[in-house]
Amino acid sequence: MNLLLFPLNMKILVADRISPVGVDLFKTEDGFEVIEAYGSSPEEILNLVKDVDGLAVRSETKVTADVFAAAENLKVVGRAGVGVDNIDIDSATDNGVIVMNTPTGNTIATAELTFSHILAGTRPIVQACARMKDGGWDRKKFTGSELNLKTLGILGMGRIGAEVAKRARAFQMQVLAFDPYLTEARAKDLGVTLASLDNLIGSADYITVHMPLTTETKHMINAETIQKMKRGVRIFNCARGGIIDESALIDALNSGHIAAAGLDVYEDEPPTKDSSLRAIPNLVLTPHLGASTQEAQENVGIDVARQMIEALKGGMVINALNMPSVDPQILQRLSPYIDLAKKLGTFLQQLGPEGIEKVITRYYGKIKDLDTSPLTNAIQQGFLREISDNVNTVNAPKKISSLGIETEEVKLETHENFNELIEVIAINKDGKERSISGSLFGKQQLPRVVSIDGHGVEVNSDAILIVLKNKDVPGIVGFVGQVLGESNVNIANMSLSRDKGEGFAVSVFELDSIPPKEATQRIEQHEAIEKYRVITL
């Protein structure tokens, strides 16, 4: 079983131009129909997406909340490139649509452009070329500097930052790196020195930015941080506009505090024709060319097609921005547990107390060593099955959070009775708890419920169930059997767990059909029965 099981009769809308090789991959895949609609207006897109399963875009097409509302069959949006500013990811998640990008296809192209800017900011090649074409020959005016033995500070050491570092080391530069997620071991492998933000800013001769634009990174380079930099520093941004405060950059370039700079991205794209950026001679500007190489364009087109095809066929989902990506081998290992996890979530929601505020999932045994995020998502999906519409593994975490339910995942070494076990606990605002546990049985790995509120049972997870907690007195099983028999409801199996210390018993009856309301009321009203639930899995 896969996380995504869709019928192989897929319609793909390619709304922006991607590599013809990528389009051909869609066309040659069995069961895939391709619609190429380049340059379509927003109104045309709304009409075209009504029955498509996949939507491939670059940056031109805006995939808005209206698009997701109109696209009833849409399952995957693939961005041929990195940035997803044109895609409403929150709306995608609400509608259960995977959003994926292709972050590796343009890595080399962007790293090489960044280093081209670094070189152009070191030797004034652009300015000298322009003067030459005007008829000049100003050798003394265009004296530059050398990269050799200078210090480069890299803000963000992801794929592109790492490639820039590799090129800097070839020029005999010392490299400082600031990245909250970079380990000492990884830094050593890359040949860079980890540094704090303040240390990097104060020590670097060159600074280049390779971070996403977030609330934390917006205007990370500003008037205050620039004043902490060396006089004569050089700054470059081929990542995202807005990380550098352009007004502060202009002032520092005009004052000479910053010797040179290079930008490929801007706070507003394109900059206005009268933008002050265009008038500064020691600032090299390019029109967002980071991924503009033939190789990069082909790579991202191929990547997005392969990723979308794999996801739509029920395989591995990679580079997804709104759900976990799982290795196929791990997914195969988890597959039997995914079905069990959904059933446990459904069981818990129907069993649980009113006003659930927290759901805790515990994984015991070897299963804890795997990526359990698909299982946690499946539990949440099962929990929401009876109380929310259009739930899948993409939107379940957000939907359960929107209900005000906190979730927690715990991994434990062993369980006293089972080699591998999943336990799910619901807690309400008054602190009342109910729990359900499950495991797999036999060579066929059949899913079974093995515990309810700590009482050991063995229950088929595919049945209609009656769950009772009752005083441990004679006659309860006979009474329930009689009521169900009189209502023509057949009992397929039952499991009984007694707790002599508490004086209570937990009974689970597997039924062939849902008991009528009258039978349910008679059972609930019995004085010895404390809790009663009909569970449909």
Dihedral angle at the C-alpha atoms of 527, 528, 531, 537, nearest 10 degrees?
A: -110
8 Å CB contact between 369 and 331: no
Distances (CA, A) of 42 to 49, 329, 481, 509: 11, 40, 62, 55
269 is catalytic: yes
Give 334: exposed, middle or buried? Use CB within 10 Å, 0-12, 13-18, 19+: buried
CA 226 to chain centre: 34
Sign of CA dihedral 169, 175, 179, 180: positive
Catalytic residue selected from 58, 79, 234, 240: 240
Catalytic residue selected from 72, 224, 269, 406: 269
Catalytic residue selected from 186, 257, 288, 522: 288
Cα angle 490-495-501, degrees, rounded to a multiple of 5: 140
Concatenated DSSP letters of 476-496: HHHHHHHHHHHTT--EEEEEE
| Paired tokens of 458 | 């063995």
**Interatomic CA distance for residues 409 and 467, integer angstroms:** 26
8 Å CB contact between 534 and 508: no
Concatenated DSSP letters of 366-413: GGGGS--HHHHHHHHHHHHTTTSSS--TTTHHHHHHHTT-EEEEEEES
Element (H, E) at 198: helix 197-203
- Could you give the 3-state DSSP secondary structure of residue 173? coil
Of 318, 327, 393, give the one whose Cα is nearest residue 4.
393
- Nearby residues of 244 by Cβ (< 8 Å), 6 or more positions away: 209, 219, 220, 221, 235, 237, 263
- For residue 55, the cross-strand partners are 13, 77
**Interatomic CA distance for residues 241 and 221, integer angstroms:** 11
Q: Give the residue numbers annotated as catalytic, written as ranges.
A: 240, 269, 288
